[in-house]
Structure 1
Amino acid sequence: MPLLTELSLGDDWIDPDDVPRSVITYGFVSRDFVGIELEPHRHAKSQIMLVQRGALSCEVEGGLWVVPPRSAVWIPGGTLHSIRMTGALEGYNAFIAPDMDARLPAACCAVAVTPLLRELLLRTANLPLFYEEGGANSRLMAVLLDELAVAKVEDLHLPMPTDPRLRKIIDLMMASPADRGTLDAWADKAGLSARTLGRLISRETGMSFGRWRQQLGVILAVKWLAGGASIQQVAADLGYESVPSFVTMFRKVLGTSPGRYMAERHSGRP
């Protein structure tokens, strides 16, 4: 079984692009990935990363995705991306030749993982690295691609601006998410008018300032909850005066309460 750990990314590592198979799956596990970040890189093959335990975030130009347990991130081949890992992490990584299936997403996205897709990733990760093609193995990979092609896209995406003036503000907001400053206050920090800041954010992200900050809160909440933080702690760290107001915001965006959202992922429900 190709198994990646924090100790196996050196001489033992074989780049998936160098493995002559159209689809290859790795398992990955670590007791402590706190603060570990994979610098921007790309693969010729497309990639699906399923998180079983812990959480990770993936950033590409123009977007940030957070992946909680029972979810996955899809990264098309050739996409420059960086990965940040949080806490004890366990999951599966499948690399797929970009010409294998035209039904697969053309852009990076987070997807919900059905029990069948999860079991297929587990099963294919138990194949030898240079597994024999044809017969049962090829049929197994075909079913994996079928299930991936119909996976539901999740709203765990945060559009990221590229304008340096905006990126400076965004970095400050992400470093101090409890700061509930107004649009005018944040504009002052960047030396911009509130109107200019609002226009730039809308142009670069497709969202209003308030909507973008709300989505940032959801993304951070999912990441922290997956890392073991309590709902009370997350609400406080995001600057909410009460837990109910945070829960209302979370439910508005993701359609369920934070407690139920995480419980469903740990229970294995789709």
Structure 2
Amino acid sequence: MPILNALQEIEWVDPDDVPRPIVAFGAEMSDVGGFELDRHRHKKGQMLLVQRGALSCEVEGGLWIVPPRSAIWIPGGALHAIKATGALAGYNAFVDPAVDKHLPKACCAVSVTPLLRELLTRAAHLPYLYEEGGANTRLVAVLLDELAVAQIEDLHLPMPTDPRLRRIVDEMMASPANRGTLASWARHAGMSERTLLRLIGRETGMTFGRWRQQLGVVLAVKWLAGGASIQQVTTDLGYESVPSFVTMFRKALGTSPGRYMAERYSG
């Protein structure tokens, strides 16, 4: 994945080693099978903004999906892994933990305003060691202010750590069209329905049904951002009809899948 700075490809520089409040650059990858970064961490906080395509990011107990016109904020020190499929374009910024701008303390997906996007674009064209004390410092300060007040989006799927639950979750994510009942999943994991309900409530804060619905939402957003049709997503999630899938999506995100994606690519 080429890293772009001032419109030119450059060698990778560890952002943790750059003595500036923000280190920002553009990122672009053509549709060559995607990429995956194994679990790692940075001293600095990280913001990943997606303009085209979608990212999935697992961060210490949660899975986040980042569609176009959204960003994910990962606090400094958080262990995380990133995966993208297909074409991807966006921006990446690393923020020094010494910067006190009331930034989120936990990982979250946020909606990106046109102002935040333009500020990050400008910051990505600065030299790594940009001159401080003037216009650049003011630009960075406004960018951090905008990030601090960005609206959080519900594109998060809590991930359990209990090994029995994690096996169920991994199988559900691998085969989301499997609409097995609570009883069948409990039997498959060798536990009672009551135990399964208690564990998933304790580890995710959700009921089994609510968690499975949220899984469908984040997968749908990921696939739609990758170019899948609504009919294809309906089938892959195991819904009997497009209207039933659209109803679920609308209840979860407040709009239809078609309108949701159209808004992501408008403007």
Tell me if the contact between 1:202 and 1:209 (Cα under 8 Å) persists in the aligned partners.
yes
Q: Structure 2 matches for 1:208-223, cutoff 5 A?
A: 208-223=207-222
Does residue 17 of structure 1 match 2:16? yes
Post-superposition Cα deviations, 1:103-161, rounded to whole Å, max 9, x if no partner, equal: 10000000000000000011111111221111000000011011111100000000000
| Structure 1 unmatched ranges of 5 or more | none
1:68 corresponding residue in structure 2: 67
Q: Which amino acid aligns with 2:226?
A: G
Tell me if the contact between 1:33 and 1:89 (Cα under 8 Å) persists in the aligned partners.
no
C-alpha separation in 2, matches of 1:190 and 1:33: 37
| Structure 2 unmatched ranges of 5 or more | none
2:80 corresponding residue in structure 1: 81
2:107 corresponding residue in structure 1: 108
C-alpha separation in 1, matches of 2:156 and 2:33: 22
Q: Structure 2 matches for 1:1-270, cutoff 5 A?
A: 3=4, 12-32=11-31, 34-268=33-267
Tell me if the contact between 2:34 and 2:87 (Cα under 8 Å) persists in the aligned partners.
no
Tell me if the contact between 2:217 and 2:252 (Cα under 8 Å) persists in the aligned partners.
yes
Q: Which amino acid aligns with 1:248?
A: T
Tell me if the contact between 1:232 and 1:243 (Cα under 8 Å) persists in the aligned partners.
yes
Greater CA deviation, 178-187 or 33-42? 33-42
Post-superposition Cα deviations, 1:185-210, rounded to whole Å, max 9, x if no partner, equal: 11111111111111110010000000
**Secondary structure in 2 aligned to 1:232?**
helix
Greater CA deviation, 67-76 or 99-108? 99-108
**Secondary structure in 2 aligned to 1:262?**
helix
C-alpha separation in 1, matches of 2:175 and 2:32: 23
Percent identity (aligned)? 75
C-alpha separation in 2, matches of 1:177 and 1:185: 15
C-alpha separation in 2, matches of 1:64 and 1:148: 21
Deviation (angstroms), 1:99 = 2.1
User: Cα RMSD over matched residues?
Assistant: 1.4
C-alpha separation in 2, matches of 1:35 and 1:226: 14
Post-superposition Cα deviations, 1:51-90, rounded to whole Å, max 9, x if no partner, equal: 0000001101210000000000000001000000121100
C-alpha separation in 2, matches of 1:51 and 1:147: 16
Structure 1 runs of 4+ with >3 Å offset: none
Tell me if the contact between 2:111 and 2:150 (Cα under 8 Å) persists in the aligned partners.
yes
Tell me if the contact between 1:86 and 1:227 (Cα under 8 Å) persists in the aligned partners.
yes
Deviation (angstroms), 1:101 = 2.2
C-alpha separation in 1, matches of 2:14 and 2:92: 12
Q: Which amino acid aligns with 2:175?
A: S
Deviation (angstroms), 1:32 = 2.6
Tell me if the contact between 2:67 and 2:221 (Cα under 8 Å) persists in the aligned partners.
yes
C-alpha separation in 2, matches of 1:151 and 1:161: 27
TM-score by length of 1: 0.95
